[in-house]
Amino acid sequence: MSHRFHRVDLLAIVPKIFLVAWLLGPATLTLRSASYPASESVIDVTRPPYSAKADGITDDTESLQRAFNDHVGRHHILYFPKGTYLISTTLKWPKSFGGRDNWGKTFLCGESREASVFRLKDGTFTDPTKPQAILWCGGFGSADWFHNYVENLTFDVGSGNPGAVALQFYSNNSGAVRNCRFVAGAGSGHTGLDLAHRDMNGPLLVRNCEVVGFRRGIATGRAVNGQVFENLFLSGQSEVGFVNEGQAISIRGLRSSNAVPALSTYGTLCLIEATLTGVGAASQKPGIINFNGGRLFLRDIRTSGYKRALGDVSHTPDSAAAYRLGSTDQPTTAGPTLAEYASHPATQAFPSPKESLRLPVKETPEVPADPPATWANATDFGADPHGVKDSSEAIQRAMDSGATTVFLPGNYALKKTIEIRGKVRRIIGTGGMIDYQARVHPDFRLGDGDAPVVVFEHFSHIHGGLEVDTPRTLVLRSVSDCDLTTTSRAKGSEWFFEDVVTHKLVLRQQKLWARQLNIENEGTHLLNDGSDVWIIGYKTERGGTLLATERGGRSEVLGGFSYTTTAGKLAPMFVNRDSAVWAFFSEVCYNGDPFAVRVQETRGTETKSLGKEQGSTTPYSGRLPKR
């Protein structure tokens, strides 16, 4: 196959206010342009048979809807070159295609966030009482809509559209909205990013996103499944910046500039590293509103221009009036900053400091983006992207070709472990499946090589798993159903997970930073054996110990919850053996079998347990006293 590829210009300059806000904050903003080699799994919507014009004048609704009808649920990337795609009605991901159910597995990717724009035609969604979206991402009645992504796009709701929602996103177990911008003009826009439009949304990740305008910037709701946010900028909302109506939410790196409260919540909320700037009428309001005694953990919150950082409200947020509070809230904190605040005291089995561990936080490392013409496309080396023939030898040839980026644009059957070595530093898929029958263990072995950091990106299944046989740094981004094993040579390696699903995870003297981690199995989910584990947004399912920390390990869990569906009485939720654990973590259980023991902690020869009646893991603190 030729190396024709989708060409990308340099990323447009980020608006100054957005750039300044991020430079002042603790987290790093990374916006990447996107391009791919020519492939049957990468669908350029501006080419035949869809031929979207992207000129901002021609209505592209029908062209894009045909592309969605043909390619959602097929492990394909729908690619949007730079341009403005004019939309006149809601684009929808269908629930079935080709006579088969659609289980998700859809990826929309723009060339760059600033240059690839979906714009709603003016005067289209005019009724604010009946919100309608530019894009509705579908879903089942149950949480079975997997591995969906919307990245590198701007959604502009135009003018005269007070009933417009920019994006209604839905995904389960894994999924993300990354590097997106949601824009509404004055008097236009109902909600920027709507994650509350249906039940059981998540687990999912929202990262590096900006919302300008709208009544509500971001909306989350319902009881399950947990959502994680990192690096958000909200400005110009007329009602509230971010509203949570019942979810388990974790946020790191929120920037807000608003005349209204930056955030309101009555679910479970963990918020760290936030800078909230109030303007105008904000001086009469708190920056954060907690409804009806919801559970909160706040850390490193800076506010200015607000009445105070946090206020409590006893009535429900069902009406817009509840968000436009004056002095009717009950003061919780008088000051503008919060170094650390928990709405409920930390439970303890043994005397311990109540404050969080504050493990050092590292940003996910990025590797250089190689031009697509230099990628080793496994198809060019004889791999079968349809998963019928064994592709082991062909993929190994691609890995050993000397390319630094290897492209796997399909589903692959394996009969032999693939060795990751040499110059390879990035392995990219299109949401496909590796070794679906799990005939090989492991599917990949990461050994020594030239690159200090190796990235695996966008695979919906790696069923035979990944073995780490090197101290090199590993990044997993949007990888599902991949179990990791290690050899003794992996001691001291650093792992970074973004939007990862696995069945069991064991760390033995590694360090892990995880953003949106989902572990589902029976038995011990995560074992920290003498390692450092930092997680923002940890969702689990089924029974067994969710986190065991031993031999001096340190574990910090910042938000998330157990969806306890089986065997809650068979094991403690958290096990702490002579180690340091701090967790802000909740539970949802509908089967009458919740965890009977929330914490089992051992110090020396003495073991104590906390049952569900004795304490909560929202938060829990247990660590040895300093010597």
Which residues does 465 contact at the CB level (< 8 Å), separation at least 6?
A: 441, 442, 443, 444, 482, 483, 484, 485
Note the pLDDT of residue 32: 60
Max CA pair span of the chain? 74
Query: How far apart are alpha carbons 263 and 279 in whole angstroms?
Result: 15
Half-sphere exposure of 114 (CA within 13 A, CB side): 13
Angle at 302 between CA 26 and CA 514, to 5 degrees: 40
What are residue 599's DSSP bridge partners? 574, 610
Note the pLDDT of residue 503: 94
Q: Other CB atoms closer than 10 Å to residue 149's CB: what's the count? A: 26
Q: How confident is the model at residue 328 (pLDDT cuts 50, 70, 90)?
A: low
Helix (H, G, I), strand (E, B) or coil at 23: helix
What's the average model confidence in pLDDT over 301-309? 95
Encoded tokens for 505: 């995870």
Report which secondary-structure segment, H or E, holds 119. strand 116-120
C-alpha of 248 from chain center: 13
What's the average model confidence in pLDDT over 124-133? 96
Whole-prediction pTM: 0.93
Encoded tokens for 37: 């080699």
Q: How confident is the model at residue 26 (pLDDT cuts 50, 70, 90)?
A: very low
Note the pLDDT of residue 180: 98
**Residue range 578-614, pLDDT digits in tens:** 999 999 999 998 888 889 999 999 999 999 999 977 7
Report which secondary-structure segment, H or E, holds 487. none
Q: With contact defined as beta carbons under 8 Å apart, do 378 and 398 qualify?
A: yes
Note the pLDDT of residue 13: 30
